[in-house]
């Protein structure tokens, strides 16, 4: 079967309906109108074979692993300084959270509350009261982020801390610099894996032998579903 290519669609040769492709090459197109399939021509099949799709690239880079040993990105003195900075930051956020919790009184979040109870309490609060609760939650989040990195550094390792948990980190420039080096190493490893995957996809065989193999596969599938 042949297809009539347009920018974003092909025409079903069986019923004449337009099949949306959104400009993406594919080995086969399915028509919803007549519930049949149309095999792509060799040119489109070749494009499909040598197209590195985003989900495949993501899968290839997701498996990349980079060392998280602090010694790979910092000297011993830098690691010690980073640990001192984060311990001080953790203590500051711990005190802040305690101060806000004590000042909030009965408004303070309670760990024993279920989600339903927390929601009911939240909906019953005024805007000002909700802000008090949000400030407590923010301080606790900052403490958890700092605490996580303190524990990792104490073990000679690094761990990722979300951006929203990095408030006040201007007081920890050494720790921030070390994490940036680690992040750069991860980005470089993923970029290398992505480039290698794309290179392999671009080198996928599309010669006569590969096309003949594809035609045999299509004939086998057609015979199975007919």
Which has the closest alpha carbon to 60: 155, 216, 191?
A: 191
Tell me how far apart the alpha carbons of residues 139 and 115 are, in angstroms, rounded to a whole number.
20
Kindly state the tokens that stand for 175: 């720790």
Which has the closest alpha carbon to 184: 63, 86, 66?
A: 66
pLDDT of residue 55: 85
Task: Find the mean pLDDT for residues 103-115.
Answer: 90
Tell me how far apart the alpha carbons of residues 196 and 64 are, in angstroms, rounded to a whole number.
12
Q: How confident is the model at residue 23 (pLDDT cuts 50, 70, 90)?
A: low
Kindly give the pairing relationship between strand 36-39 and strand 9-11.
Answer: unpaired
pLDDT of residue 226: 66
Examine the pLDDT at 126 and tell me if it is beyond 60.
yes
pLDDT in tens, 144-184: 999 999 999 999 999 999 998 999 999 999 999 999 999 99
pLDDT of residue 2: 35
Q: Using CA atoms in the order 162, 79, 171, 109, what is the torsion angle rounded to 10 degrees?
A: 40
3-state secondary structure of 42: helix
Beta strands in the chain (DSSP E): 9-11, 18-20, 28-31, 36-39
H/E element holding 216?
helix 208-225
Domain boundaries, the chain: 1-51, 70-195
Q: Poorest-confidence range of 18-32, 161-175, 185-199, 201-215?
A: 18-32
pLDDT of residue 54: 85
Number of residues written out for the chain: 226
pLDDT of residue 6: 39
Residue with tokens 């594919």: 26
What is the gyration radius of the CA atoms in the chain, in angstroms? 29
């Amino acid at each position: 079967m042949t297809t009539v290519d347009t920018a974003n669609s092909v025409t079903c040769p069986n019923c004449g309906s337009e099949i949306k492709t959104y400009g993406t090459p594919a080995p086969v197109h399915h028509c919803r109108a007549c519930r049949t399939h149309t095999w792509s021509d060799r040119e489109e099949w070749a494009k499909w074979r040598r197209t590195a799709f985003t989900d495949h690239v993501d899968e290839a880079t997701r498996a990349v692993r980079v060392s998280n040993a602090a010694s790979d990105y910092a000297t011993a003195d830098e690691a010690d300084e980073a640990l001192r900075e984060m311990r001080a930051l953790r203590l500051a956020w711990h005190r802040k959270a305690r101060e806000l919790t004590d000042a909030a009184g009965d408004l303070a979040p309670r760990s024993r509350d279920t989600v339903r109870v927390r929601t009911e309490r939240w909906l019953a609060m005024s805007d000002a009261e909700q802000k008090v609760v949000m400030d407590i939650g923010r301080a606790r989040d900052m403490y958890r982020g700092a605490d996580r990195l303190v524990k990792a550094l104490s073990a000679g390792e690094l761990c990722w801390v979300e951006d929203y948990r990095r408030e006040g980190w201007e007081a920890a420039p050494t720790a921030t610099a070390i994490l940036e080096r680690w992040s750069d190493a991860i980005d470089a490893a993923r970029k290398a894996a992505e480039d290698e995957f794309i290179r392999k996809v671009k080198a996928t065989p599309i010669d006569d032998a590969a096309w003949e193999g594809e035609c045999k596969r299509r004939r086998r599938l057609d015979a199975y579903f007919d």
